[in-house]
Every structure is written in C-alpha cells, then in structure tokens.
Amino acid sequence: MSLSLIAAACGSSSAAPSSAKSTTSGLHGSLVIATQPDLGYSALNIIDQEGWLTKAMPGVKVTWDTVNSGSTVETGMISGNIDVGAGGVAPFLLGSAKGVGWKLFSSLGDENLELVVKPQITSFKSITSSDRIAVVAPTSIQAIIMKKAAQKYLSNPNALDANLTILSHPVAYQAFKSGTIQGALDAPPFQQEEVAAGGHVLVDSYSLFGPSTFNAAWVMPSYYNSHTQIMKVLFAQIQRAMALLNDHPDQAASIISAYNQGSLSVSAATAAITSSTVRWTVTPQGYLVYGSFMKSIGLISTSPTSVRQIELPTLYGTNGN
Amino acid sequence: MSNSDATLANDKVSGADETGGDRRLWWRPPPTVRTPGSHHPLSWSKLPTLVRRLIVFAVLVAFWQMYMSVKHPNPLLFSGPAAAATAFVDGWRNGQIASATATTLEVLLIGMAIGLALGLVFTILATVSTVGKDFVMLMTAMLNPLPSIAILPLAIIWFGLNNNAMIFVIANAVAWPMAINMSTGFTTVNPTLLMAARNLGLRRWRMIKDVLLPAGLPFIMSGVKVSWAFGWRTVIAAELIFGTAGGSGGLGYYINTSQYFLKVPDVFAGLITIAIIGIAVEMLLNLFERRTVVRWGMQRA
Amino acid sequence: MASRVARIKKGGAPVGDTTGADAPGDPSIEGTGPDLLLSANGPQPQRDLPARAASNSLPDSDSTLLSLEHVRISYRLRRSVVEAVGDATFQMDRHERLMLIGPSGCGKSTLLKAVAGFIEPEGGTIRFDGRSDLTPGPDRAVVFQEFDQLFPWRTVIENVAYPLRVTGHERAEARQRAEFFLEMTGLAAAADRHPHELSGGMKQRVAIARALALEPAMLLMDEPFGSLDAITRVRLQGELKRIADRTRVAIFFVTHSILEALTLGDRIVVLGSPPSHVRTVVDVRELGGPTDPRYIEVQQHLHEQLGATDKDLSGVEL
C-alpha cells in the first residue's frame, strides 16, 4: 500500500531518473543542504563543521546553505536548487497537502517548545488584545501550537490570531527583553534566555500535542531515488551526529559553539543540548497528531494517515508517528 | 572653446529674436521632416493614451501567458495570469486584499505625510539659516543612502511593535529625498524672479510660500515621486519583516503569508494590487502636474 | 515743457470725467480707487506718493527724489575684484525720467540694483526720498530685462494684483486696481492667461503694469525692452511714454541705446567705461523730435561721449 504510494509520488514528479542508474553510479555529483540559524539543526551543523560528508564522499561536492526563512527552503526545494531541506512539522505538512511531494528523510530531534510570557500574563484568559506574542512565521509549528492552545483554553483556535506578531527568533528575544512584546514562542536557546530574562512558561507543546519532532530533513523522492547511495551516507552521518549529541554532549557543544563562531558559548550550547526539553533522535514524531489538528481547523485539506505516506526508506522501521 | 562660444552666441541671438519668450532650442528640424508613420491614419502615436497603455498591458499579459504555456513552471512557484486574476477577484471579494490595502495605505500615507512635512521643514531650515543648512546637509548625506528598513530594529525599540515604528521608518525614507529635491528646487529658482519678489517686499514666510514653493514645484513633484517609490518599498519591506496576523496585516504581510501558505496566485494578486495602486498614483500625480507646472509652462507635458 | 504739462492734464483724468481731482485719494472707496489717485497726480504731484514714502519724505519744496554721491561699487570675481562703478554722482527729481546710458560693463545695471536695494555700495551714499538705508521695496518698483520676472503660476491679473495684496490692499481693491493698470497697458484681454502664453512684449507690459500698480515713487527699469524685437520695442517705448505722461511716475531707466534714451528721457546720464564715472549729463527736455535740428547735434554729442570712453562701440546702439 505505502510502497505503491511512493511509486505514485515518484511517477508524478517530473524528471525522475531510473533507480537502476543510481545503484550503479559511484559517489559523484553534488549535494545542496539548507539549514536555518537555530540549534534545532545541530545534527546537520555538526556534520558541516566537522566535514564528515566530504570525508565520507570525496567525490561529491557538498554545499551548505544557511537561509533565514522557511519559505526560502521550500521555494528552493520546489525549484530544485536545494536537495536536502530542513524545517518544522507544520510547513512540511502544509507543503505535502499542497502537493509539493517532499518526504521525511530524517528527524533532527524532538523539542518541547515553550510559550514564555511576561509575569503579568498568568493564564490565557489574562492575555489582552494589546499583548503581542511572537512566532516565527504564520505557518510555523509555533503558530500551530498557539492555535491549539487557543482552542484548548479559549475554545477558539483563532482567538489569539490578532495577538500574533511575526518575528525571527533573535528579534523576538530582543523584543521580549525590551518589553515591546509580552510573549514569545520560539525555540532554544531563546526560550531559556527569555525565562532567564524574567518570563515564565505558560504552556508547552508536549502538553498540547505530546512529544514531537521540532525540525526534520526533507528530500524529494526523485532526488532520493537517483542519489540513494549519497542519501544513505548522509543518513549514516546524521545518526553519527545524534550519537555524539546524546553520548558526548560536551564534545558536541564545543563543535556547535565553533560552528556559531563564538556567538554561542560552549556552556550555553551544552545547556541547550542537554536540556530536558530536547531529545536527539532520527525518528519523526507527532506528524499525524499535528496533521489531523491542522486539518480539523481547516489549515490543510488532507493530512497523512500513516507515517509511511510521508517518510523515505531511511526511516522505515524507526516507528515514527 | 570656439565651439562653445558659437553655441552661446546662437543662443543669445535666438533669445533676442524670440518674441514668444520661451526658451527653445536654437536648432529646429526643417518643417518637411515628419515623424515616421505620421502619414498613416492609424499610427501608434495617434492612438489615445489609454488605448496605447491598454495595448502594452495586453501584450505583457500575452507574454506572461505564453511563458506559462511554453515553460509550464511549477504552480507552487509561479502563477499564470488566469489564476492570478481569479485570486485577485476573490481576494477583493472576500475583503482580504481590501483590508490589507487599507492597512498598508494608512500607514504609508501617514508616514509619507510626516516625511513630506519634515522634508519641507528641513528645507526651510536650510534656506533661512546656515546652521540649518549644515544640519540638513549632514543628515541627508548620512541618512539618505541608508536603506530605511535598516533602522526598523531601532524604530521597534523606540516605538514598540506597532504602526508607529513603521510610520517612523517610512517618514525617514521619505524626508531625505524630499529635502534634497526641495532644496534643489529652492536653489534653482530663477534669480530674476527672486529679485522681483524681493522688490515687491516679499520676506521669509511669504517668500517661501508664494515664490519658492511654487517655483520649486517641478522639483518638489519629482521629490514626491521618488518619495512615493521609497515609501512603498519601505512599507512592503517592513511588513515582510513584521506584520500582525488576524486580518490587520498589510499588503506585504498578505503577500508574505500567502507565500508561506504556498498560495502562489494570492502572492501574484498582492503584487498586482501594488502595481495597480502604483499606476493610479502615477496618474494622479501626472494629472496634478498637468494642472500645475505644465499649465504654467514650467514643465513640458 | 508746456505742451507736456498740457498732455499730462489731459491724461490726468483717464477714465471718465473724474470730478474729485483734489479729493483725498482713499483707494478703498469703491469705484474710485486708482482713478482718483492718478487724477490727483497731475495738479498735486506731492500727493501721489504712497503713504509710507510720504511719511519719510523731505518737505515738498525739496524736489530731489534720488541723489547719488560718489557711489563706488565693485564686485568680486573668483580671483580678482573688479571695480565697476568708480564714482557716480548725480541727482534725480520727482517725476523726472532719467536715462542711464553707457558702454557694456560700465556698471549701469549695477547702479540700478544698488538704488533698488539689492546691492550695497562700497562707498558714497545713495539717498532716496531722504533715506539712505535702502532695502528692496515696492516704492522703487523694478522692471527687469528678463521675461521671467513674472510668476509663471499666476495669471496676468494675479501677477499684477498679488503684490498689491502683499502691500496691504483688500482683495477687491487689488483686483480692481490690477484691471485698471492692465487696461492702461493694453492687456485687458490677456488678464486670465498665464505668462508662458504671452509674447515677450506682452510679458514686459505685464511687468510694467505690475510695477505701476504699486504706485511707486520711482520706476526702475533695467533695459526692459532690450530682449524685444525692434518693432515691439518701438511700440512699447511709445506706450511707456504715454503711460509715464499720464502717471507722472519718476523713471530711472538703464539702456544702451542712444535712440531709446532720447525718445524716453528728460535727462541722460552718460557713464564712462569701468571704473566708471559720470561723463556728462544732457538735458533733452526742450528737445523736439528727430526733425529738430538740435536732435542730430545731441545725438552726435552722446555718441562722442560714449565713443570717447570706449573705442569699441559694439555695446552701444545708435
């Protein structure tokens, strides 16, 4: 059933080279990977910083792009300029529903996202119309979490729409500290910094949706099928990075700190990596839950009914949900 | 040297001969020469302006459609004219584009009004005092080349995350080009006219209001046009950086959100709206110019 | 001279038969404004001055309106200082038409601008109506050579009426007065046109009407017909003469044309080449027209005076 679905997906995408060719090809060609400036992409950042891919596949020209917007990743992938993109749960589901055709290649980790608010906001009911809450994009997982919270606590998923302000994580953090916004739902390490700056956690994503992936790597099936060997090497390196993050967080933290060129201290990186809100895993989580919620409030027209529909063979057997 | 002398002499002679008093080229094409095609009853230049513009527009749309038919771009990246037109009509029907346009125009017009007023005040300051001139010269040299959007973070710290921050940024984008153009207008006023005005006893405010402003109007109008373009760019860019959800975002936010939701025809509908407003404003400004500087013989139609 | 007075009296009541020739000229009285003032000019010359000028004026017995004593003016070029006017000394009476003539660069326009208050002389004094601290003002209305001295954004009538509004006249009165002076300069039909729709001659007429409407003590004219074609120039000279006869306004007229000076002037002041001083002053009041045998004589004299100062006569028209 699911295999035939993949086959259909491959058939529908334009210019899908025969899979026979990919098995015989050596490890040559090029690979463009796009990430965003965020600790949620740590596994990929470690591979980049340590040059693991180049060492494993000297014949493959690997390009790492750091882009500032999820929509740039999406546009790049649709236009074929980015081979491996990465992003949150919600944009992935939205693109899938729109027929982009991308599939999950690997999760980059689970993260419990926290809505941090100023002390005067003690409950959802105490949020006034003049209070501003920052999320990174209108289609971000953070925006979906806000809708779920609004549905749960205010009985209307759109009740807090007027309070949402679209800000990138660093800007949101600055704005929260300076008091121009009263709440922020962004990502580590900013959510921890915001708590340190006097905020408190009003709600977190796990309490609304259960444990879920924060960011995952996506690949077009056509690219995957024509570059299976390269993809397998990449997946192995992601697993290797995950092991480092889980087993040697100090080592991982110094790599991450070096990757960020000193703007993130080793101790701060260690704290973020070892935070109780985070879990480093390649297994996707929460896609079905988020999908059915997004469908129930009319954001998307179709949602996946099984993980097989949305994952690539690398993830078969990892028991995602 | 001798060449320029000859030109000057010619100029003088023609100026003395010219009873009409208009400054014309001393050289004129012989009357037998006609513009190509002027013999044809249906020549392009004889068509009404609106018809000419519509034909150009139709050709552009045809090319757009041809591109769609030949290249078949991914509908998640690019939209054809038909889909864009449908999204445009739907967006206006359901009020989303209308409210986004209203939001953007409100912020833009307030910001521009403040910017134009500031530009005027700065120019007057520079006209009446040397200190004012030094101040305006320095500020203009520093701030005019700066993309106004670059000071948005500063504006957010000063004004908070609200329209005031955007208004400030737009006013800043508008004030300096306005001041530059207005100063040029003031300083290039015909010296004879200025002497005549002084002779009539015009001083300071009356001189500015009744002589410098109307005499500098051609430059002021080009300042307004430049400011309008700067203002638009700034407001759209500012809305892309921060916009408020829940139906109160502007056109930039509308476009950005549509892009996030991969609603490509809606992105194009937003762009078309911006283009139409641009055309409408251009027409308004041209109409104003026809009624003023062109009618007064200070600028050609 | 006698015939001139007669003409003035004839022209003194220009429109209709104004009875109040000696009535106080209250311009605000409807329907009588400019006419009254003008008609008063003839028999009672001392009353034609605007109030502010009159308040500063010397006793009526003093007929001198303008006096220049040892006026020296230089201007700065990029590296050098050029002395244009070396020593200008002459007087001018009320109602007089003084023609200032001289070769190119002798500083005649500069002198006019100094009298208008645009330039401060470096030495000597200029006294106008008893004052020597001269700033530009409508009591010395200037007509420039350049056609673009009009406000392009105002219609012809607005160009004439606007300065009157500035000098404190009521709207209706300003308009009425503007209409009167446009009529006088033959521009009534063009009242609602904009300056760019006028010929050069018409523009200069508007400038003259604008200046006259201010009822200045003196009209300063800086080669006003210099940019006109010959036919228009002759026509406007005749009109100016007629208007001046009628209004008896004093005229300080700069020209480089001997013929123009002879046609329009009471006296002609000839300046030498820079740094200039007054070569001669010729009284041409008693002179008849070109048929007068003395006319040729005077013309010859002026020519010699100019020629003696400047071998190159290219700047001087005969």
ipTM, interface predicted TM-score of the complex: 0.75
pLDDT given for residue C5 in this prediction: 32
A79 close contact with B: CB closer than 8 A:
yes
pLDDT given for residue A310 in this prediction: 87
User: CB count, 10 Å around CB of A159?
Assistant: 18
CA C229 from chain centre, in angstroms, equals: 20
Stretch B108-125: mean pLDDT: 93
pLDDT above 50 (res B18): no
pLDDT above 80 (res B9): no
Beta-carbon separation of C150 and B196 below 8 A: yes
What element of type H or E holds C125?
strand C123-128
Residue type, B122: F
Stretch C277-296: mean pLDDT: 84
Distance from CA of B230 to the nearest CA of C (A): 29
Beta-carbon separation of B247 and A70 below 8 A: no
Distance from CA of C2 to the nearest CA of B (A): 35
**Helices (H), ranges, B72-190:** 81-93, 96-128, 130-143, 152-159, 163-187
pLDDT above 50 (res B127): yes
3-state secondary structure of A140: coil
State which residue of chain B sits closest to A167, comparing Cα positions: B242
Q: Taking all residues of chain B, what is their mean pLDDT, rounded to a whole number?
A: 82
pLDDT above 70 (res B88): yes
Distance from CA of A206 to the nearest CA of B (A): 24
Give B301's pLDDT tier (boundaries 50, 70, 90): low
Query: What subunits make at least 3 CB pairs under 8 angstroms with B?
Result: A, C
Q: Is B191 exposed, middle or buried (0-12, 13-18, 19+ CB in 10 A)?
A: exposed
Stretch A4-27: mean pLDDT: 40
B155 in a structural domain: yes
B3 in a structural domain: no
Hey, what are C296's tokens? 């040729």
Beta-carbon separation of C153 and B298 below 8 A: yes
pLDDT given for residue C38 in this prediction: 39
A166 closest CA partner among B261, C187, C251 = B261
3-state secondary structure of C277: strand
- Give Cα separations from C264 to A251, C8, C99, C100 (angstroms): 104, 15, 8, 11
**pLDDT-above-70 percentage for chain C:** 77
**Helices (H), ranges, C124-217:** 156-166, 171-184, 200-213
Cβ contacts from B onto C, under 8 A? 92
Cβ neighbours of A161 in B, within 8 Å: 245-247
B201 in a structural domain: yes
Lowest mean pLDDT: which of B177-181, C30-34, C244-248?
C30-34
pLDDT above 80 (res C180): yes
Q: Does C have 3 or more CB contacts under 8 Å with A?
A: no
- Give Cα separations from B99 to A164, B111, B144, B264, C253 (angstroms): 18, 18, 31, 19, 67
State which residue of chain B sits closest to C196, comparing Cα positions: B297
Minimum-distance CB partner of C137 among B201, B206, B215: B201
- Give Cα separations from A274 to A195, A225, A253, B68 (angstroms): 17, 35, 9, 51
Beta-carbon separation of C167 and B199 below 8 A: no
Stretch B122-133: mean pLDDT: 87
Give C105's pLDDT tier (boundaries 50, 70, 90): confident
3-state secondary structure of B278: helix
- Give Cα separations from C198 to A33, B11, C155, C161, C221 (angstroms): 72, 20, 11, 18, 20
pLDDT given for residue B196 in this prediction: 93
Residue A31's DSSP bridge partners are: A62
**pLDDT-above-70 percentage for chain A:** 92
A287 closest CA partner among A211, A220, A186 = A211
State which residue of chain A sits closest to B242, comparing Cα positions: A166
**pLDDT-above-90 percentage for chain B:** 36
State which residue of chain C sits closest to B19, comparing Cα positions: C200
Question: What is the spatial distance between Cα C236 and Cα A113, in angstroms, rounded to a whole number?
Answer: 90
Domain count, chain B: 1
Question: What is the spatial distance between Cα A278 and Cα B233, in angstroms, rounded to a whole number?
Answer: 41
Distance from CA of B81 to the nearest CA of A (A): 20
The hierarchical CATH code for the domain A4-110+212-315 is 3.40.190.10
**CATH number for the domain that contains residue B89:** 1.10.3720.10
A51 or A2, higher pLDDT: A51
Residue type, A35: T
pLDDT given for residue B40 in this prediction: 59
B250 closest CA partner among B93, B96, B95, B103 = B103
Length of chain A: 321
- Sign of torsion, CA A70 A72 A76 A78? positive
State which residue of chain B sits closest to C193, comparing Cα positions: B296
**pLDDT-above-90 percentage for chain C:** 32
Q: Does A have 3 or more CB contacts under 8 Å with B?
A: yes
- Sign of torsion, CA C124 C129 C130 C132? negative
CA B140 from chain centre, in angstroms, equals: 19
Give C19's pLDDT tier (boundaries 50, 70, 90): very low
pLDDT above 60 (res A291): yes
- Contact (CB, 8 A) for C129 and C109: no
Minimum-distance CB partner of B199 among C141, C198, C201: C141
Question: What is the spatial distance between Cα C206 and Cα C160, in angstroms, rounded to a whole number?
Answer: 7
Question: What is the spatial distance between Cα B134 and Cα A5, in angstroms, rounded to a whole number?
Answer: 72
- Contact (CB, 8 A) for A82 and A32: yes
- Give Cα separations from A171 to A247, B10, B142, C3 (angstroms): 33, 64, 25, 92
pLDDT above 60 (res B15): no
Cβ neighbours of A162 in B, within 8 Å: 244-248
Question: What is the spatial distance between Cα C313 and Cα C299, in angstroms, rounded to a whole number?
Answer: 14
- Sign of torsion, CA A200 A206 A211 A216? negative
pLDDT given for residue A255 in this prediction: 94
pLDDT above 90 (res C168): no
Cβ contacts from A onto B, under 8 A? 71
pLDDT above 90 (res B130): no
B289 in a structural domain: yes
Query: What subunits make at least 3 CB pairs under 8 angstroms with C?
Result: B
Q: What is the pLDDT of residues A209-262, one digit of tens each?
A: 999 999 999 999 999 999 999 999 999 999 999 999 999 999 999 999 999 887
Beta-carbon separation of B201 and C152 below 8 A: no
Beta-carbon separation of A164 and B245 below 8 A: yes
Give B175's pLDDT tier (boundaries 50, 70, 90): very high
Q: What is the pLDDT of residues B255-274, one digit of tens each?
A: 888 888 888 999 999 999 99
Hey, what are B231's tokens? 């203002």
Hey, what are A249's tokens? 């967080």
pLDDT above 70 (res A277): yes
Cα angle at C58 between C57 and C64, to 5 degrees? 100
Q: Tell the residue number behind the tokens 């201290």, with chain if given.
A: A265
Question: What is the spatial distance between Cα A264 and Cα B197, in angstroms, rounded to a whole number?
Answer: 66
Lowest mean pLDDT: which of A59-73, B10-24, B189-203?
B10-24
Minimum-distance CB partner of B21 among C136, C163, C200: C200
Buried b (16+ CB within 10 A) or exposed e, A211-246: ebbbbbbbbbbbbbbbbbbbbebbbebbebbbebbe
Beta-carbon separation of B260 and A71 below 8 A: yes
B29 close contact with A: CB closer than 8 A:
no
Cβ neighbours of A74 in B, within 8 Å: 262
Lowest mean pLDDT: which of A230-234, A258-262, B111-115, B174-178?
A258-262
Minimum-distance CB partner of B242 among A74, A143, A166: A166
Every domain of chain A and the residues it spans: 4-110+212-315, 114-209
Q: What is the pLDDT of residues C188-203, one digit of tens each?
A: 899 999 999 999 989 9
C201 closest CA partner among C177, C224, C178 = C224
A165 close contact with B: CB closer than 8 A:
yes
pLDDT above 50 (res A25): no
A143 or C309, higher pLDDT: A143
Beta-carbon separation of B153 and A79 below 8 A: no
C217 or C19, higher pLDDT: C217
Residue type, A129: S
Give C315's pLDDT tier (boundaries 50, 70, 90): very low
Q: What is the pLDDT of residues C48-72, one digit of tens each?
A: 333 333 333 444 446 888 988 889 8
A85 close contact with B: CB closer than 8 A:
no
Report which DSSP code applies to A315.
G
Length of chain C: 318
pLDDT above 50 (res B98): yes
Stretch B17-25: mean pLDDT: 45
Beta-carbon separation of C195 and B190 below 8 A: no
B50 in a structural domain: no
Q: Tell the residue number behind the tokens 């002395």, with chain if given.
A: C83
Question: What is the spatial distance between Cα C41 and Cα C9, in angstroms, rounded to a whole number?
Answer: 9
pLDDT given for residue A174 in this prediction: 86
Residue A111's DSSP bridge partners are: A278
Cα angle at A87 between A83 and A92, to 5 degrees? 90
pLDDT above 50 (res C10): no
Minimum-distance CB partner of C167 among B17, B201, B296: B201
pLDDT given for residue B31 in this prediction: 53
Cβ neighbours of A88 in B, within 8 Å: none
State which residue of chain B sits closest to C199, comparing Cα positions: B20
Cα angle at B11 between B5 and B12, to 5 degrees? 90
Q: Tell the residue number behind the tokens 């990977």, with chain if given.
A: A33
B204 in a structural domain: yes
Buried b (16+ CB within 10 A) or exposed e, C272-296: bbbbbbbbbebebeebeeeeeeeee
Question: What is the spatial distance between Cα B118 and Cα B163, in angstroms, rounded to a whole number?
Answer: 18
State which residue of chain B sits closest to A95, comparing Cα positions: B262
Report which DSSP code applies to A263.
S
Stretch C155-181: mean pLDDT: 92
3-state secondary structure of A204: strand
A74 close contact with B: CB closer than 8 A:
yes
Q: Tell the residue number behind the tokens 């048929």, with chain if given.
A: C291
**pLDDT-above-70 percentage for chain B:** 83
Lowest mean pLDDT: which of A9-13, A183-187, B99-103, C118-122?
A9-13
Cβ neighbours of B260 in A, within 8 Å: 70-71, 91, 137-139
B237: containing domain: 81-294
Q: What is the DSSP string of C227-271?
A: TS-HHHHHHHHHHHHHHHHHH--EEEEEESBHHHHHHH-SEEEEE
- Contact (CB, 8 A) for C134 and C117: yes
Beta-carbon separation of C152 and B297 below 8 A: yes
Question: What is the spatial distance between Cα C71 and Cα C125, in angstroms, rounded to a whole number?
Answer: 6
Distance from CA of C136 to the nearest CA of B (A): 5
pLDDT above 70 (res B4): no
Sheet containing C267-271: order of strands: C123-128, C64-76, C81-93, C276-283, C267-271, C97-101, C250-255, C218-222, C140-143
Beta-carbon separation of B201 and C136 below 8 A: yes
B301 in a structural domain: no
Q: Taking all residues of chain A, what is their mean pLDDT, rounded to a whole number?
A: 86
Cβ neighbours of B297 in C, within 8 Å: 152, 194-197
Stretch A118-141: mean pLDDT: 91
Q: Which chain C residues in 150-169 lie under 8 Å from chain B, judged by CB atoms?
A: 150-153, 162-163, 166-167
B242 close contact with A: CB closer than 8 A:
yes
Stretch A81-87: mean pLDDT: 92
CATH fold for the domain made of A114-209: D-Maltodextrin-Binding Protein; domain 2 (3.40.190)
pTM for the model stands at 0.73
Q: Which chain C residues in 28-57 lie under 8 Å from chain B, judged by CB atoms?
A: none
Query: What subunits make at least 3 CB pairs under 8 angstroms with A?
Result: B
